[in-house]
Chain A
Amino acid sequence: GDSVTQMEGPVTLSEEAFLTINCTYTATGYPSLFWYVQYPGEGLQLLLKATKADDKGSNKGFEATYRKETTSFHLEKGSVQVSDSAVYFCALDPGTGNQFYFGTGTSLTVIP
């Protein structure tokens, strides 16, 4: 079935460090892929998305490329800030309209 596997955390980085959070997926069709961010005490917010292979989603300095050959959608940012501290979720929409499949989340803490 459809699923998402996300790298486990927590991840702690110094400010201005490079960030990669790995996400791989399993899907029978042609899913859309998403990254969501959750700040403490809040709901999830859409960070970026990609709807087909080779698409690159980007927002607020974050990027992720939909790679069908490796079934991956890794999140990257070149220089993290303290304000990026949050939990990041990778998600897959299989296209049925029924539900998304979410990874277990990766907690990121950025220290000054």
Chain B
Amino acid sequence: NAGVTQTPKFRILKIGQSMTLQCTQDMNHNYMYWYRQDPGMGLKLIYYSVGAGITDKGEVPNGYNVSRSTTEDFPLRLELAAPSQTSVYFCASTPRPADYGYTFGSGTRLTVV
């Protein structure tokens, strides 16, 4: 049982480049989330999904996009990377948030230079 798997673990991008952060879970969870973690700022929600084919914006969606074509996968796309997107990105999933909390992936550390 792999849980939530994120790839890559580290990445350096140049300003203006694009990339996709991958997230997959094998627990058949309907709810999936993308958060970014900045030092001293806690976690901020970027996008979330309550099931395959359904996505919605969180607090800080600008510069990002997502898709949810299957229950297992929830990739996060960065278009035209900017230094402000330097952060650690976490994917999380849950079958029922209030009862189970989240299962987090190990994170992707992204630096935009």
Contact = CB atoms under 8 A, between A and B. Distances in A.
Q: Is B truly associated with A?
A: yes
Interface of A: 32, 34, 36, 41-46, 49, 51, 89, 91, 93, 95, 97-100, 102-105
Given A43-B104, A44-B90, A98 B48 contact: yes
Given A42-B106, A44-B90, 17 more contacts: A32-B101, A34-B101, A36-B101, A43-B104, A43-B106, A44-B92, A44-B104, A46-B101, A46-B102, A46-B103, A93-B98, A93-B101, A98-B45, A98-B56, A99-B33, A104-B41, A105-B40
Given A42-B106, A103-B42, A51 B48 contact: no
25 contacts: A32-B101, A41-B106, A42-B107, A43-B4, A43-B104, A43-B105, A43-B107, A44-B90, A49-B101, A93-B97, A93-B101, A95-B98, A98-B45, A98-B48, A98-B56, A99-B33, A99-B45, A99-B59, A100-B43, A100-B45, A100-B102, A102-B43, A103-B42, A104-B41, A104-B42
B98 A51 contact: yes
A100 B90 contact: no
A79 B90 CA distance: 31
A41 B105 CA distance: 11
Choose among B48, B59, B98 the residue with the greatest number of A CB atoms under 10 Å from its CB.
B98
The 10 closest A-B pairs by CB, nearest first: A43-B104, A32-B98, A102-B42, A99-B45, A104-B42, A102-B43, A46-B101, A44-B104, A43-B106, A93-B97
B58 interface: yes
A41 B42 CA distance: 15
A105 B33 CA distance: 19
Contact of A99 (B4, B40, B58, B107): B58
